[in-house]
């Protein structure tokens, strides 16, 4: 466990140093089209994932890449850690996130969010802000972007019961495009509310796309079922792997984080 602690500490320090490095390297892209900034974001994601493997021995496996459709899309992902917020950037040419408006105030980082035309939301503004967000997201997706959204709204612990919000269903109905569900087990390796990074095989799996045209109720039922079933399968496989490596201690610890 001491080795895991030290490796986690080193990784977290380097993670933010590398983030600053790419933000500085990317300054010229402020004067370029959006694709240039998105390329910088992908370099950051890939370098961070590479460091995770080299320093913390977290191998990453991507499944179902052949299921990713081209063009406008809603990507509905399970959300267990910060990892997927940057890892998913690698697979889409025009990714779009909905995020807290306060993040746009961060020097350099926030300017990237503005330049890349991410959608900020003021959660304190109530229902009116949510409606404006849904309208902007729908317009952007119909113009060809891929909206990466976390239907539960926030990171959840591995063992927490799922709670899918209706907002994603409204966006799906308004957009009229395919939805790509995503399952993962990242919370066992990059738990929330701790800097610890546990070794093992992190899996992100793209599932069968859901066609446009479903009702809101049917969409929520189907997307939550397929994501949760696949996520439970991935988590159980990862826990068995961790049990072989560490007697189950890291897996149980991260699940409680």
Which tens digit of pLDDT belongs to each residue from 5-22?
A: 999 999 999 999 999 999
- Non-local CB neighbours of 2 within 8 Å, separated by 6+ positions: none
Whether residue 153 lies inside any domain: the answer is yes
Please, how many CA atoms are within 13 Å of residue 9, restricted to the half-sphere of its CB?
6
Say if 10 falls within a structural domain: no
* Structural domain contains residue 5: no
Q: Is residue 52 part of a domain?
A: no
pLDDT above 60: residue 227:
yes
In the chain, the number of structural domains is: 1
Residue 245 resides in a domain: yes
Q: Kindly state whether residue 27 falls inside one of the protein's structural domains.
A: no
Domain interval for residue 158:
60-256
Model confidence pLDDT, tens digit, residues 69-103: 999 999 999 999 999 999 999 999 999 998 888 88
**Quick check: pTM over 0.85?**
yes
**Any domain includes 35:** no
């Amino acid at each position: 466990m001491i080795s895991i602690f030290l490796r986690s500490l080193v990784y977290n320090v380097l993670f933010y140093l590398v983030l600053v490095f790419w933000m500085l390297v990317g300054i010229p892209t402020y004067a370029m089209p959006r694709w240039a900034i998105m390329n910088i974001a992908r370099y950051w994601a890939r370098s961070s994932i590479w460091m995770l493997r080299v320093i913390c021995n977290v191998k990453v496996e991507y499944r179902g890449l052949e299921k990713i459709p081209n063009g406008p899309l809603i990507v509905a992902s399970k959300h267990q850690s910060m990892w997927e917020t940057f890892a998913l950037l690698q697979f889409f040419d025009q990714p779009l996130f909905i995020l807290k408006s306060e993040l746009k105030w961060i020097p350099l980082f926030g300017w990237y969010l503005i330049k890349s035309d991410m959608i900020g939301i003021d959660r304190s503004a109530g229902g009116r802000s949510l409606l404006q967000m849904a309208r902007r997201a729908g317009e952007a997706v119909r113009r060809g972007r891929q909206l990466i959204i976390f239907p539960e709204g926030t990171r959840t612990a591995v063992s927490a019961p799922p709670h899918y919000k209706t907002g994603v269903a409204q966006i799906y109905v308004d957009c009229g495009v395919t939805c790509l569900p995503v399952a993962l087990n990242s919370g066992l390796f990059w738990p929330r509310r701790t800097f610890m990074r546990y070794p093992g095989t992190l899996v992100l799996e793209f599932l069968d796309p859901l066609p446009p045209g479903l009702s809101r109720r049917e969409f929520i039922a189907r997307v939550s079922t397929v994501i949760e079933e696949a996520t439970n399968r991935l988590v159980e496989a990862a826990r068995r792997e961790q049990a072989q490596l560490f007697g189950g201690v890291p897996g149980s610890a991260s699940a409680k984080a």
